[in-house]
Homo-oligomer: A and B are copies of this chain.
Protein backbone atom coordinates (compact mmCIF):
# COMPACT_ATOMS: atom_id res chain seq x y z
CA UNK A 1 0.00 0.00 0.00
CA UNK A 2 1.17 3.49 -0.87
CA UNK A 3 2.40 5.54 2.03
CA UNK A 4 0.19 8.61 1.95
CA UNK A 5 -3.42 9.78 2.23
CA UNK A 6 -5.29 11.92 -0.30
CA UNK A 7 -8.67 13.44 0.45
CA UNK A 8 -10.75 15.48 -2.02
CA UNK A 9 -14.09 17.25 -2.11
CA UNK A 10 -16.50 17.06 -5.07
CA UNK A 11 -19.51 19.24 -5.87
CA UNK A 12 -21.19 21.82 -3.66
CA UNK A 13 -20.15 22.07 -0.03
CA UNK A 14 -22.47 21.50 2.92
CA UNK A 15 -22.46 23.05 6.38
CA UNK A 16 -20.58 19.99 7.67
CA UNK A 17 -18.33 18.85 4.82
CA UNK A 18 -15.33 20.19 6.74
CA UNK A 19 -16.37 18.06 9.73
CA UNK A 20 -15.76 14.97 7.61
CA UNK A 21 -12.35 16.36 6.67
CA UNK A 22 -11.65 16.88 10.35
CA UNK A 23 -12.71 13.26 10.96
CA UNK A 24 -10.29 12.01 8.27
CA UNK A 25 -7.31 13.96 9.58
CA UNK A 26 -7.91 13.24 13.25
CA UNK A 27 -8.60 9.53 12.64
CA UNK A 28 -5.36 9.19 10.67
CA UNK A 29 -3.45 10.94 13.46
CA UNK A 30 -5.13 8.80 16.17
CA UNK A 31 -4.27 5.65 14.25
CA UNK A 32 -0.63 6.71 14.28
CA UNK A 33 -0.61 6.94 10.48
CA UNK A 34 2.91 8.00 9.63
CA UNK A 35 2.60 9.01 5.98
CA UNK A 36 1.63 12.41 4.66
CA UNK A 37 -1.96 13.64 4.60
CA UNK A 38 -2.73 15.50 1.41
CA UNK A 39 -5.85 17.32 0.29
CA UNK A 40 -6.62 18.10 -3.33
CA UNK A 41 -6.88 21.85 -3.85
CA UNK A 42 -10.28 22.45 -5.48
CA UNK A 43 -11.20 18.78 -5.75
CA UNK A 44 -10.78 17.08 -9.12
CA UNK A 45 -8.98 20.16 -10.45
CA UNK A 46 -6.28 19.73 -7.85
CA UNK A 47 -6.00 16.01 -8.49
CA UNK A 48 -5.58 16.55 -12.24
CA UNK A 49 -3.08 19.36 -11.76
CA UNK A 50 -1.18 17.53 -9.01
CA UNK A 51 -1.96 20.53 -6.84
CA UNK A 52 -2.17 19.13 -3.32
CA UNK A 53 -2.26 20.82 0.08
CA UNK A 54 -0.07 19.13 2.67
CA UNK A 55 -2.13 18.89 5.87
CA UNK A 56 0.34 16.63 7.67
CA UNK A 57 1.70 19.28 9.99
CA UNK A 58 -1.32 21.57 10.27
CA UNK A 59 -1.74 22.22 14.01
CA UNK A 60 -4.50 20.34 15.83
CA UNK A 61 -6.18 23.62 16.79
CA UNK A 62 -6.60 24.59 13.14
CA UNK A 63 -8.00 21.15 12.30
CA UNK A 64 -10.47 21.51 15.20
CA UNK A 65 -11.75 24.77 13.69
CA UNK A 66 -12.97 22.80 10.68
CA UNK A 67 -16.09 21.86 12.69
CA UNK A 68 -17.47 25.38 12.32
CA UNK A 69 -15.87 26.47 9.05
CA UNK A 70 -18.40 26.93 6.23
CA UNK A 71 -17.91 25.90 2.59
CA UNK A 72 -14.94 23.68 1.73
CA UNK A 73 -11.72 24.50 3.56
CA UNK A 74 -9.71 22.78 0.82
CA UNK A 75 -11.87 23.89 -2.12
CA UNK A 76 -14.10 21.88 -4.42
CA UNK A 77 -15.20 21.93 -8.05
CA UNK A 78 -18.00 20.82 -10.33
CA UNK A 79 -15.75 19.26 -12.94
CA UNK A 80 -17.07 15.90 -14.04
CA UNK A 81 -14.14 13.65 -14.87
CA UNK A 82 -14.13 12.07 -18.31
CA UNK A 83 -12.46 8.84 -19.42
CA UNK A 84 -9.59 10.92 -20.74
CA UNK A 85 -8.95 12.30 -17.24
CA UNK A 86 -8.55 9.03 -15.35
CA UNK A 87 -4.98 8.25 -16.42
CA UNK A 88 -3.97 11.67 -15.02
CA UNK A 89 -5.75 10.87 -11.76
CA UNK A 90 -3.79 7.63 -11.48
CA UNK A 91 -0.63 9.50 -12.33
CA UNK A 92 -1.19 11.82 -9.34
CA UNK A 93 -1.93 8.88 -7.06
CA UNK A 94 1.36 7.25 -8.10
CA UNK A 95 3.39 10.43 -8.02
CA UNK A 96 2.36 11.23 -4.45
CA UNK A 97 2.53 7.57 -3.40
CA UNK A 98 -1.10 7.57 -2.29
CA UNK A 99 -2.25 4.51 -0.36
CA UNK A 100 -5.65 5.77 0.75
CA UNK A 101 -7.87 7.92 -1.44
CA UNK A 102 -11.02 9.47 0.03
CA UNK A 103 -13.51 11.26 -2.18
CA UNK A 104 -16.21 13.22 -0.37
CA UNK A 105 -19.28 13.99 -2.46
CA UNK A 106 -22.69 13.12 -3.88
CA UNK A 107 -23.86 11.00 -6.79
CA UNK A 108 -21.42 12.29 -9.38
CA UNK A 109 -18.50 12.04 -7.00
CA UNK A 110 -19.37 8.47 -6.03
CA UNK A 111 -19.29 7.63 -9.71
CA UNK A 112 -15.80 9.17 -9.97
CA UNK A 113 -14.74 7.31 -6.86
CA UNK A 114 -16.00 4.03 -8.29
CA UNK A 115 -14.15 4.53 -11.55
CA UNK A 116 -10.90 5.41 -9.79
CA UNK A 117 -11.21 2.24 -7.73
CA UNK A 118 -11.89 0.07 -10.78
CA UNK A 119 -9.01 1.55 -12.69
CA UNK A 120 -6.61 1.30 -9.77
CA UNK A 121 -7.48 -2.38 -9.35
CA UNK A 122 -7.02 -2.97 -13.08
CA UNK A 123 -3.65 -1.25 -13.12
CA UNK A 124 -2.55 -3.06 -9.98
CA UNK A 125 -2.19 0.14 -7.98
CA UNK A 126 -2.08 -0.51 -4.27
CA UNK A 127 -4.54 2.17 -3.18
CA UNK A 128 -7.64 1.85 -1.01
CA UNK A 129 -10.52 3.95 -2.35
CA UNK A 130 -13.40 4.94 -0.05
CA UNK A 131 -16.26 7.34 -0.76
CA UNK A 132 -17.44 9.70 1.98
CA UNK A 133 -21.10 10.61 1.49
CA UNK A 134 -22.14 14.26 1.40
CA UNK A 135 -25.09 16.05 -0.04
CA UNK A 136 -27.57 18.48 1.44
CA UNK A 137 -30.02 17.13 -1.16
CA UNK A 138 -30.14 13.79 0.73
CA UNK A 139 -30.52 11.90 -2.54
CA UNK A 140 -27.79 9.27 -2.19
CA UNK A 141 -29.08 5.72 -2.18
CA UNK A 142 -28.24 2.92 0.28
CA UNK A 143 -27.68 5.23 3.23
CA UNK A 144 -30.44 6.23 5.65
CA UNK A 145 -29.51 9.86 5.02
CA UNK A 146 -26.54 11.95 3.91
CA UNK A 147 -24.27 14.14 6.00
CA UNK A 148 -25.17 17.72 5.10
CA UNK A 149 -28.89 17.05 4.96
CA UNK A 150 -29.58 17.45 8.69
CA UNK A 151 -28.08 20.94 8.74
CA UNK A 152 -29.81 22.01 5.53
CA UNK A 153 -33.08 20.67 6.94
CA UNK A 154 -32.56 22.53 10.22
CA UNK A 155 -31.87 25.69 8.23
CA UNK A 156 -35.05 25.19 6.21
CA UNK A 157 -37.18 24.40 9.25
CA UNK A 158 -35.95 27.17 11.54
CA UNK A 159 -35.74 29.85 8.85
CA UNK A 160 -39.25 28.98 7.77
CA UNK A 161 -40.51 29.19 11.36
CA UNK A 162 -38.90 32.61 11.67
CA UNK A 163 -40.41 33.79 8.38
CA UNK A 164 -43.83 32.33 9.20
CA UNK A 165 -43.83 34.28 12.47
CA UNK A 166 -42.76 37.43 10.64
CA UNK A 167 -45.51 36.92 8.06
CA UNK A 168 -48.15 36.42 10.74
CA UNK A 169 -46.95 39.28 12.99
CA UNK A 170 -47.34 41.80 10.18
CA UNK A 171 -49.84 40.02 7.93
CA UNK A 172 -49.62 42.25 4.88
CA UNK A 173 -47.64 39.94 2.62
CA UNK A 174 -47.67 36.44 1.32
CA UNK A 175 -44.04 35.46 1.86
CA UNK A 176 -42.66 32.93 -0.62
CA UNK A 177 -39.43 31.19 0.37
CA UNK A 178 -37.28 29.36 -2.17
CA UNK A 179 -35.09 26.53 -0.90
CA UNK A 180 -32.39 24.50 -2.59
CA UNK A 181 -33.06 21.08 -4.11
CA UNK A 182 -32.93 20.57 -7.83
CA UNK A 183 -34.88 17.35 -8.21
CA UNK A 184 -35.39 16.12 -4.67
CA UNK A 185 -37.62 17.88 -2.14
CA UNK A 186 -35.99 16.58 1.06
CA UNK A 187 -34.78 19.99 2.25
CA UNK A 188 -37.92 21.89 1.29
CA UNK A 189 -40.05 19.28 3.07
CA UNK A 190 -38.30 20.24 6.32
CA UNK A 191 -39.65 23.78 5.93
CA UNK A 192 -43.14 22.41 6.62
CA UNK A 193 -42.04 21.98 10.22
CA UNK A 194 -42.59 25.74 10.52
CA UNK A 195 -46.34 25.18 10.66
CA UNK A 196 -45.94 22.74 13.54
CA UNK A 197 -43.47 24.99 15.42
CA UNK A 198 -45.51 28.18 15.13
CA UNK A 199 -49.13 27.34 14.33
CA UNK A 200 -48.89 29.71 11.36
CA UNK A 201 -50.18 28.65 7.95
CA UNK A 202 -47.54 27.18 5.64
CA UNK A 203 -47.94 25.71 2.16
CA UNK A 204 -45.04 23.60 0.88
CA UNK A 205 -44.37 22.59 -2.73
CA UNK A 206 -41.76 19.97 -3.69
CA UNK A 207 -40.29 19.20 -7.10
CA UNK A 208 -41.63 15.64 -6.98
CA UNK A 209 -45.19 16.84 -7.70
CA UNK A 210 -45.74 18.93 -10.83
CA UNK A 211 -47.69 21.97 -9.72
CA UNK A 212 -50.97 23.25 -11.16
CA UNK A 213 -50.38 27.00 -10.84
CA UNK A 214 -54.08 27.88 -10.85
CA UNK A 215 -54.73 25.48 -8.00
CA UNK A 216 -51.69 26.79 -6.13
CA UNK A 217 -52.98 30.36 -6.44
CA UNK A 218 -56.44 29.29 -5.23
CA UNK A 219 -54.82 27.60 -2.22
CA UNK A 220 -52.77 30.73 -1.51
CA UNK A 221 -55.84 32.98 -1.74
CA UNK A 222 -57.94 30.79 0.53
CA UNK A 223 -55.23 30.30 3.15
CA UNK A 224 -54.20 33.97 3.20
CA UNK A 225 -57.84 34.95 3.73
CA UNK A 226 -57.67 33.39 7.20
CA UNK A 227 -55.88 36.61 8.20
CA UNK A 228 -52.82 35.08 9.88
CA UNK A 229 -50.39 35.84 7.08
CA UNK A 230 -49.01 33.06 4.93
CA UNK A 231 -45.68 31.44 4.19
CA UNK A 232 -45.30 29.46 0.96
CA UNK A 233 -42.16 27.34 0.69
CA UNK A 234 -40.99 25.98 -2.65
CA UNK A 235 -38.11 23.98 -4.05
CA UNK A 236 -36.00 25.87 -6.55
CA UNK A 237 -36.59 23.02 -9.02
CA UNK A 238 -40.41 23.13 -8.85
CA UNK A 239 -42.04 22.15 -12.16
CA UNK A 240 -45.37 22.99 -13.74
CA UNK A 241 -47.85 20.49 -15.21
CA UNK A 242 -45.80 20.48 -18.41
CA UNK A 243 -42.88 19.04 -16.45
CA UNK A 244 -40.74 22.12 -17.04
CA UNK A 245 -39.25 24.18 -14.19
CA UNK A 246 -41.36 27.23 -13.31
CA UNK A 247 -38.13 29.23 -13.53
CA UNK A 248 -34.42 28.74 -14.03
CA UNK A 249 -31.32 30.89 -14.03
CA UNK A 250 -30.33 30.16 -17.59
CA UNK A 251 -27.05 28.66 -16.31
CA UNK A 252 -25.78 25.13 -16.97
CA UNK A 253 -23.28 23.84 -14.40
CA UNK A 254 -20.12 21.83 -14.91
CA UNK A 255 -22.03 18.55 -14.56
CA UNK A 256 -24.40 19.61 -17.37
CA UNK A 257 -27.33 20.29 -15.02
CA UNK A 258 -29.46 23.44 -15.48
CA UNK A 259 -29.10 25.68 -12.43
CA UNK A 260 -32.55 26.30 -10.99
CA UNK A 261 -33.59 29.57 -9.36
CA UNK A 262 -36.16 32.33 -9.46
CA UNK A 263 -39.08 30.04 -8.66
CA UNK A 264 -40.20 32.03 -5.61
CA UNK A 265 -40.02 35.31 -7.51
CA UNK A 266 -42.09 33.80 -10.31
CA UNK A 267 -44.79 32.70 -7.85
CA UNK A 268 -44.68 36.06 -6.08
CA UNK A 269 -45.24 37.83 -9.40
CA UNK A 270 -48.29 35.62 -10.03
CA UNK A 271 -49.70 36.33 -6.55
CA UNK A 272 -49.34 40.08 -7.09
CA UNK A 273 -50.69 40.08 -10.62
CA UNK A 274 -53.47 37.50 -10.41
CA UNK A 275 -54.59 37.74 -6.78
CA UNK A 276 -53.82 41.42 -6.17
CA UNK A 277 -52.13 40.51 -2.88
CA UNK A 278 -48.85 41.89 -1.66
CA UNK A 279 -46.17 39.25 -1.82
CA UNK A 280 -42.43 39.03 -1.42
CA UNK A 281 -40.00 36.33 -2.46
CA UNK A 282 -37.03 35.38 -0.30
CA UNK A 283 -34.16 33.24 -1.52
CA UNK A 284 -31.38 32.57 0.95
CA UNK A 285 -29.89 30.25 -1.67
CA UNK A 286 -26.35 29.13 -0.82
CA UNK A 287 -26.85 30.28 2.80
CA UNK A 288 -28.97 27.14 3.20
CA UNK A 289 -25.84 25.04 2.85
CA UNK A 290 -23.27 27.44 4.30
CA UNK A 291 -24.87 28.66 7.52
CA UNK A 292 -22.99 27.54 10.61
CA UNK A 293 -25.36 28.96 13.27
CA UNK A 294 -28.10 26.67 11.89
CA UNK A 295 -25.80 23.61 11.76
CA UNK A 296 -27.37 20.46 13.24
CA UNK A 297 -25.34 18.96 16.09
CA UNK A 298 -26.33 15.44 14.97
CA UNK A 299 -25.26 16.18 11.42
CA UNK A 300 -21.96 17.60 12.61
CA UNK A 301 -21.20 14.51 14.69
CA UNK A 302 -22.20 12.11 11.91
CA UNK A 303 -20.22 13.97 9.25
CA UNK A 304 -17.19 13.65 11.50
CA UNK A 305 -17.89 9.96 12.10
CA UNK A 306 -18.14 9.04 8.39
CA UNK A 307 -14.75 10.65 7.76
CA UNK A 308 -13.26 8.78 10.68
CA UNK A 309 -14.85 5.48 9.60
CA UNK A 310 -13.53 5.89 6.05
CA UNK A 311 -9.97 6.11 7.36
CA UNK A 312 -10.40 3.11 9.64
CA UNK A 313 -11.86 1.06 6.77
CA UNK A 314 -9.08 2.01 4.35
CA UNK A 315 -6.39 1.23 6.90
CA UNK A 316 -8.01 -2.20 7.32
CA UNK A 317 -7.58 -2.69 3.56
CA UNK A 318 -11.13 -2.06 2.37
CA UNK A 319 -11.62 -0.44 -1.04
CA UNK A 320 -14.46 0.31 -3.46
CA UNK A 321 -17.00 1.24 -0.83
CA UNK A 322 -18.93 4.26 0.36
CA UNK A 323 -19.57 4.74 4.06
CA UNK A 324 -23.30 4.44 4.74
CA UNK A 325 -25.35 5.50 7.75
CA UNK A 326 -27.82 2.99 9.17
CA UNK A 327 -30.33 4.33 11.64
CA UNK A 328 -33.13 3.17 13.88
CA UNK A 329 -35.61 5.69 15.32
CA UNK A 330 -37.48 3.73 17.95
CA UNK A 331 -37.37 3.69 20.87
CA UNK A 332 -34.74 6.39 20.35
CA UNK A 333 -32.60 7.52 17.42
CA UNK A 334 -29.41 5.50 17.03
CA UNK A 335 -27.09 5.33 14.05
CA UNK A 336 -24.18 3.16 13.05
CA UNK A 337 -21.97 3.01 10.01
CA UNK A 338 -21.19 0.37 7.40
CA UNK A 339 -19.73 0.05 3.92
CA UNK A 340 -21.79 -0.24 0.72
CA UNK A 341 -20.33 -0.97 -2.73
CA UNK A 342 -19.62 2.21 -4.71
CA UNK A 343 -20.94 0.47 -7.82
CA UNK A 344 -24.38 0.37 -6.27
CA UNK A 345 -24.65 4.01 -5.19
CA UNK A 346 -23.01 5.75 -8.15
CA UNK A 347 -25.50 7.79 -10.16
CA UNK A 348 -28.61 6.50 -8.36
CA UNK A 349 -30.89 9.27 -7.04
CA UNK A 350 -33.09 8.65 -3.99
CA UNK A 351 -36.42 10.41 -4.44
CA UNK A 352 -38.65 11.85 -1.75
CA UNK A 353 -41.51 9.37 -1.14
CA UNK A 354 -44.63 10.63 -2.89
CA UNK A 355 -46.84 9.18 -0.16
CA UNK A 356 -45.38 11.74 2.26
CA UNK A 357 -46.97 14.59 0.29
CA UNK A 358 -50.66 15.30 0.97
CA UNK A 359 -52.95 17.63 -1.02
CA UNK A 360 -49.93 18.76 -3.03
CA UNK A 361 -48.70 21.09 -0.28
CA UNK A 362 -48.75 19.33 3.11
CA UNK A 363 -46.02 17.05 4.45
CA UNK A 364 -46.91 13.89 6.36
CA UNK A 365 -45.80 13.20 9.94
CA UNK A 366 -43.87 10.18 8.63
CA UNK A 367 -41.35 12.59 7.11
CA UNK A 368 -40.83 14.35 10.43
CA UNK A 369 -40.43 10.99 12.21
CA UNK A 370 -37.64 10.40 9.70
CA UNK A 371 -36.05 13.84 9.67
CA UNK A 372 -36.43 15.29 13.18
CA UNK A 373 -33.58 13.30 14.77
CA UNK A 374 -31.26 14.43 11.97
CA UNK A 375 -31.90 18.11 12.65
CA UNK A 376 -30.00 18.14 15.93
CA UNK A 377 -30.66 19.97 19.14
CA UNK A 378 -34.23 20.65 20.27
CA UNK A 379 -36.09 23.39 18.49
CA UNK A 380 -36.73 26.56 20.50
CA UNK A 381 -40.09 27.06 22.15
CA UNK A 382 -41.42 30.47 21.18
CA UNK A 383 -43.57 32.95 23.13
CA UNK A 384 -46.71 33.47 21.08
CA UNK A 385 -48.83 36.01 22.88
CA UNK A 386 -51.22 37.13 20.13
Contacts and interface: CB of A to CB of B under 8 A. Distances in A.
Contacts of A170: 12-13, 71-72, 75-78
Nearest to A290: B162
Interface string A246-260: 000111011000010
A249 B58 CA distance: 49
A63 interface: yes
A75 B286 contact: no
A348 interface: no
Contact of A293 (B70, B72, B262, B294): B294
Which among A69, A71, A162, A250 has the greatest number of chain B C-beta atoms within 10 A? A71
B65 A381 contact: yes
Interface stretch (A27-35, A205-213, A277-285, A307-315): A277-285
A125 interface: no
A120 B346 CA distance: 73
A204 interface: no
Contacts of A280: 249, 251, 259, 261, 285-286
A162 B381 CA distance: 27
A286 B172 CA distance: 13
Nearest to A77: B170
A84 interface: no
B293 A287 contact: no
A311 B292 CA distance: 37
Contacts of A386: 41-42, 53, 73-75
Given A169-B75, A286-B282, A292 B162 contact: yes
Contact of A166 (B251, B290, B293): B290
Given A175-B286, A280-B285, 20 more contacts: A13-B170, A62-B383, A62-B385, A70-B161, A71-B165, A71-B169, A72-B170, A73-B384, A74-B386, A78-B172, A159-B291, A162-B290, A162-B292, A165-B290, A166-B289, A166-B290, A250-B272, A251-B278, A282-B284, A283-B284
Q: 6 nearest interchain CB pairs?
A: A293-B293, A282-B285, A65-B383, A71-B169, A71-B165, A162-B290
